[in-house]
Amino acid sequence: MVDPRLVLEIARNMRGCNYVVEPGAGLGVVTSRLSDNAGYVLGVEVDARFIPLLGEVAREHKNIDVVYGDILELFFERVECMAGNLPYSITGPFFSRLVKVFRPKSAIFTVQREVASRLAAKPGTSSYGRLTVLVQLVYEVKLGNVYPPSSFYPPPEVYSQTVNLRLREDAVSPSEIEIVEEFTRCLFSQRNKRVAKVLRSCCENGDFVNDVGERRVYELSPSEVYSLALKCFGSSR
């Protein structure tokens, strides 16, 4: 199913975690490896066909439980760590939920290589955008290994890459992330335009004085976007 090096990379990164949630547990290959390295693993799987197999895996390992459900609709009391080969179709909504709801201290995910580049991008580059800002305001992002399509069965059409996330000490709060999410929807729809002009179209009070007005949207750092979001939307809520 999956390249053993990838399974090992994920499992090793979760060493020392007491509680790991794995979105998209599938056949349980990663799940059982995780259970060797972490105190407890909760596998989440939306496809009912995998649930009996995952039940077997859970019976063989005392520290694994399985939940049948959609990771985008579940709530957990507290998520310490999160890991897995993410279903690529839910990348956007998943990361939105990660920074607003789950907020694990530590996480490792396999994503499309292009998504990994966006998560780790620097301002001013072509990969830099809304997803970068939202995730980097909450997490330190480190790129892991790249895996070719042949690392998976069936092989996807794209290369994949792991990303390591560590919760920042100064992580922006969930309620402020919601403000940034709303603000960046408008801001990054005009990513190549000058900031002053875009603020006039995105904010009711878009004429507020700022020292970044002459720059282009995609050149703003995550913390600059955050300050502008609070000025634009914060006071009106």
Ligand X SMILES: C[S@@+](CC[C@H](N)C(=O)[O-])C[C@H]1O[C@@H](n2cnc3c(N)ncnc32)[C@H](O)[C@@H]1O
Q: Which residues bind ligand X (CB under 6 A)?
A: 1-2, 23-27, 29-30, 44-47, 50, 70-72, 84-85, 87, 90
Structure tokens at 25: 């547990």
Instruction: Kindly tell me which of 22 and 136 has the beta carbon lying closer to ligand X.
Output: 22
211: Cβ–Cβ under 8 A, 6 or more apart, which residues? Answer: none
Angle between helix axes 174-187 and 195-202 (nearest 10 degrees) is 110
- The amino acid at residue 221 is S
Q: CB of 152: closest distance to ligand X in angstroms?
A: 7
Shorter beta-carbon distance to ligand X: residue 46 or 121: 46
Annotated binding site: 1, 24, 45, 70, 85
Q: Helices 195-202 and 222-232 meet at what angle, rounded to 10?
A: 40
Binding site for S-adenosyl-L-methionine, by residue number, is 1, 24, 45, 70, 85
Shorter beta-carbon distance to ligand X: residue 20 or 180: 20
Query: Considering the complex, what minimum distance in angstroms separates the CB of residue 182 from ligand X?
Result: 23
Q: Which is nearer to ligand X, 25 or 229 (CB)?
A: 25
Q: Can you give the three-state secondary structure of 110-125, one letter per residue?
A: EEEHHHHHHHHCCCCC
The residue number with the shortest CB distance to ligand X is: 24
Q: Residue 218 CB, nearest distance to ligand X (Å)?
A: 30
In the bound complex, what is the minimum distance in angstroms from residue 77's beta carbon to ligand X?
18
Q: Which H or E run includes 4? A: helix 4-13
> Burial of 119 by CB count in 10 Å (0-12 exposed, 13-18 middle, 19+ buried)?
buried
